[in-house]
Structure 1
């Protein structure tokens, strides 16, 4: 179940542009991309996803969300049902429905590395508070703000939350491995906090962000939406040039760079616009659906 050996962002770039290949897989972010601001999926988008799959193009949801927050798309699976969650930390089969999602692949953040990150960020950005995302739920510090109405499994200092060893399954795998660490700062701007954190942490872990607040998401080194998507595509014999990707926030940048064709949403962060090969309209204007319809019309 565990995935060994990080895939670095340097290994993700296609050697030559291959975007002229017919698309075989659509990889789309959710919040700010596929979902409207009210977290709904428009009827036009539902129809476009179904039409893509009917045409033989696989669809992957690729999100920073944990598996337990995937109910928002559970009614729109069509033929697919695999999602990359936690910014690449897990591949999840959504077919079981709410509460029954099955983890297919896990790329955990080792506890000792997570403790190193906590130590380094406390020194580099005093006032940082932490939460620990495990496969079974969220655990956070007393000072971590309730950014989402997500009841914590436990509340304690991060050092204690991470020092507690996870129980082992019959196969010897951790039952609840750490998927990612969340770090929040009450005063720094989001991009400034990201820059400080990346400089302080270096190669101890991969750090990104998708929230409009100063909330960072910390994964195992080399773990990202892009690297896990690359592995899933390799399993299917799909080339990067056969992938069309959509995103709007910094945690999408590597995926958009890796995919042969990629689109920044009209509401995207400047770094995303710079990374993508194309641009579509905003999430509230069905930007993903418009591109899918164009792809199908040109087949």
Structure 2
């Protein structure tokens, strides 16, 4: 999601993004706060840059914390770049055919363990569950985008044995209305990190919990291995803590100017902010280089 760490519209005065030493085979980009502008749209410049990358033989993957049902924002612009890794690595989704290809779910018992640990350590935490085909949440949880006829109930009931009705749990979400987002993440990892992969992409205190070992990085690495693509042939873009694993794994990594401080510290290159088409700028430089 859009970061609160915006500093300026460009990386540094008169600076342009660096380029990898060799032409990449795959570009992996986060969406919110990175590829998308603040109004959640894809600019014409970005659409053109993605198409130019694929014309040059570079595959494009969208790698996002969004669920597949929120991918319409880019699906309409995917002439050929139709692969997405959604829910922080829990799903590989074919945008062209509108179908789930692979899922790496969170075991309900692990979700319940995370809930129990956070209820004890951080009173006032509210929870939601992202299933393969739906979203459910507790009455105290304030959803980002309320849906018609939502399923509302205690998360312990939503994750109870047999309550899923064959649906897979892709992601558990935990929200707190008062805590500092990074402090909330630190506490959650300390008390519940053994039960799942805990991260965040929102500027608010909203945590995202996937199955143990499931992240943008691990699923991207699997998809690349299937294609015979190595890490040093991948260029990745991101802005928030849920991008850190992917950015560290890729041979070349870019932080947009509005990125979280940890992302700025972990990446090899900088580019302009999402609002100023930073991903497009870097892709143009890569193709020209």
Do they fold alike, i.e. is TM over 0.5? Answer: yes
Give me the CA root mean square deviation: 1.1
Distance in structure 1 (CA, Å) of the matches to 2:161 and 2:261: 40
The answer to whether the 8 A contact 1:281-1:287 is kept is: yes
The answer to whether the 8 A contact 2:23-2:286 is kept is: no
1:259 aligns with 2:250: yes
The answer to whether the 8 A contact 1:138-1:152 is kept is: no
| Residues 70-85 of structure 1 mapped to structure 2, 5 A cutoff | 70-85=71-86
Unaligned runs of 5+ in 2: 1-19
Distance in structure 1 (CA, Å) of the matches to 2:134 and 2:176: 22
Distance in structure 2 (CA, Å) of the matches to 1:261 and 1:32: 19
| Residue 148 of structure 1, CA deviation | 2.2
Aligned residue for 1:83, secondary structure, equals: strand
Partner in structure 1 of residue 119 of structure 2:
122
Distance in structure 2 (CA, Å) of the matches to 1:49 and 1:272: 23
User: Quick one: structure 1 residues 152 and 245, their matched pair in 2 at CA, closer, same or farther if it must change by over 3 Å?
Assistant: farther
Distance in structure 2 (CA, Å) of the matches to 1:42 and 1:202: 38
Partner in structure 2 of residue 140 of structure 1:
137
Deviations 1:231-261 (A, max 9, x none): 0000000000000000001100111000000
| Residues 218-257 of structure 1 mapped to structure 2, 5 A cutoff | 218-257=209-248
Distance in structure 2 (CA, Å) of the matches to 1:151 and 1:192: 33
| Residues 133-172 of structure 1 mapped to structure 2, 5 A cutoff | 133-151=130-148, 153-165=150-162, 166-167=164-165
Partner in structure 1 of residue 11 of structure 2:
none
Deviations 1:54-93 (A, max 9, x none): 1100000000000000000011112121100000000000
The answer to whether the 8 A contact 1:21-1:241 is kept is: no
Aligned residue for 2:202, secondary structure, equals: coil
**76-85 or 227-236, which deviates more:** 76-85
Partner in structure 2 of residue 67 of structure 1:
68
| Residue 29 of structure 1, CA deviation | 0.3
| Residues 1-299 of structure 1 mapped to structure 2, 5 A cutoff | 20-96=21-97, 101-151=98-148, 153-165=150-162, 166-167=164-165, 174=166, 176-298=167-289
| Residue 50 of structure 1, CA deviation | 0.3
The answer to whether the 8 A contact 1:139-1:152 is kept is: no
Unaligned runs of 5+ in 1: 1-18, 168-173
The list of structure 1 runs, each at least 4 consecutive aligned residues, that deviate by more than 4 angstroms after superposition, is: none
Distance in structure 2 (CA, Å) of the matches to 1:164 and 1:180: 16
| Residue 152 of structure 1, CA deviation | 6.0
User: Quick one: structure 1 residues 152 and 128, their matched pair in 2 at CA, closer, same or farther if it must change by over 3 Å?
Assistant: farther
Answer 1 or 2: higher relative contact order, Cα 8 Å, separation at least 6. Answer: 2
The answer to whether the 8 A contact 1:137-1:152 is kept is: no
Partner in structure 2 of residue 171 of structure 1:
none
TM-score by length of 2: 0.91
Aligned length: 269
Partner in structure 2 of residue 5 of structure 1:
none
TM-score by length of 1: 0.88
The answer to whether the 8 A contact 1:20-1:241 is kept is: no
The answer to whether the 8 A contact 1:89-1:219 is kept is: yes
Partner in structure 2 of residue 6 of structure 1:
none
